[in-house]
Amino acid sequence: MVNLIWVCMLLMGIIVAAVNGNIDAVTTAALQGAQWAVDFALGLVAIMTFWLGIMKVAEEAGMVRLLARLVRPLMTFLFPSIPRNHPSMGAIIMNLCANVLGLGNAATPMGLIAMKELQKLNRGDPKTASEAMCTFLALNTSCITIIPATIIGIRIKAGSVNPTEIVGTTIFATACSMIVAVIVDRILRGIYRSHRWRW
Amino acid sequence: MIMNMVSLAAKWAIPSILFFITLLAFVRRVNVYESFIEGAQEGFMTAVKTIPFLVAMFVAISVFRASGAMDLFVETVSPVTGFFGIPAEILPLGIMRPLSGGGALGITAELIKVYGADSFLGRLASTLQGSTDTTFFVLTLYFGSIGVSKYRYAVFSGLSADITGFIASVFICNMVFR
């Protein structure tokens, strides 16, 4: 699936550029994209190192397990394949909380820590996503944000009379997408299990 | 009132997490400093491991955008979406949103500048921006950090959430702001 999307985007881009006589743009864009990706990854080094350190302290103090126990009923419904009180539960819940509060700097490291823990539970091929990972990412990408801070900032700058009036509509739309994400994840998990489809 | 409480919570969340984790670990006789160093060891590798995945995704997205292929794509589907009452101006944002956070934010800022923050399109763009996510970026980054290259059905569920967010945004904005 990703393979197909990737190939289509790249080939279509090159063909369109060639037809438009804009072939130079391909080279520039490719290098720019690569540069951006590396800049982002290197920028991640600092916050990842920091949060991995803090999370290790939290784990040894027993806080991650405590957190996991608190949210167990909900998490066992969403993630039946994760054992009780597994550290990944704590990281998942912290990632979702950070997302809800719009704390991007904490959300990403927590999410990556959660993925690392989920990978330890991945009993299949380590290059293939597990069911728990798919559910986690479905939740993560559709997660409710109570305060869309960036967009409110843009609206204030643009001179909006009521910059926060979009909070209600945002919460409605994001709640819809979260519900659909959970349902679609469940359905696809079932289909995938019964048919063993390969994308 | 609620807004103030939430932004207060956001401001205090990380400092208080840091405070309580450190305090609790110390009280429980964990060697806090050593554990921190031990955990932090993996930080560099985790970040660097994502590079090939991110480069692959961003090269493709960047070429797709800069070549004009994305505009072509938008032009092709806009008659269909227009039929369902989705304004054509908003469509580039809907397509850009799962691919590139920065790109989508640029389009939103542009729409707000051109049409005004309090116009229907400005409000719709704002709602869309807040209720959908950069699905491809998140998938690439999260799976990349642990070396997973077969995403199985994660792309489908992520995209279905984005499409739902898009439709729900158009629907609720039509109800509330029209």
Residues A1, B150: Cα–Cα separation, whole Å = 8
- Judge: B65–A29 Cβ closer than 8 Å, yes or no: yes
> What residue of A is the nearest CA neighbor of B149?
A127
Instruction: Please answer yes or no on whether B142 and A137 come within 8 Å at the CB atom.
Output: yes
Instruction: With beta carbons under 8 A apart, name residues in chain A contacting B67.
Output: 12-14, 16-17, 20, 22, 25-26, 29
| Annotated domain spans of chain B | 1-41, 45-177
Domain ranges within chain A, ordered by starting residue: 51-193
Task: Report the residue of chain B nearest A24, measured CA to CA.
Answer: B67
Of residues A151 and A49, the one with the higher pLDDT is: A49
| CB B66, CB A13: distance < 8 Å | yes
Q: Which residues of B touch A63 (CB under 8 A)?
A: 20-21, 24-25
Q: Could you tell me if B68 and A81 are in contact, meaning their C-beta atoms sit under 8 angstroms apart?
A: no
CB-based contacts of A106: which residues, under 8 Å, 6+ apart? A51, A94, A98, B13, B14
Secondary structure E strands in A13-110: none
Within 13 A of A164's CA, how many CA atoms are on the CB side? 9
Would the CB atoms of A151 and B18 count as touching at under 8 Å?
A: no
What ipTM was reported for this prediction?
0.88
The interface residues of chain B toward chain A in range 74-93, judged by CB-CB distance below 8 A, are none
Mean predicted confidence (pLDDT) in A32-56: 90
The 8-class DSSP code of residue A196 comes to -
% of chain A residues with pLDDT over 70 = 98
For residues A197 and A191, what is the distance between their CA atoms, to the nearest angstrom? 8
Q: What is the pLDDT of residues B120-171, one digit of tens each?
A: 999 999 999 888 888 999 999 999 999 999 999 999 999 999 999 999 999 9
Q: Which of B112, B86, B98, B109 is nearest to B168 (CA)?
A: B86
Query: Per mean pLDDT, which range of A16-25, B64-73, B77-86 is the poorest?
Result: B77-86
Residues from chain B that touch A125, judged by Cβ atoms under 8 A, are 150
Read off the pLDDT of residues A136-170 as tens digits, 9 standing for 90 and up. 999 999 887 777 877 888 888 888 898 888 988 99
Residue B3 confidence (pLDDT): 65
Which residues in B lie closer than 8 A to residue A17 (C-beta atoms)?
63, 66-69
CA B173 to chain centre: 20
Q: What is the mean pLDDT of residues A100-110?
A: 81
Mean of pLDDT values over B104-129: 90
Question: Quick one: tokens of A111?
Answer: 């999410």
Specify the pLDDT at position B160: 93
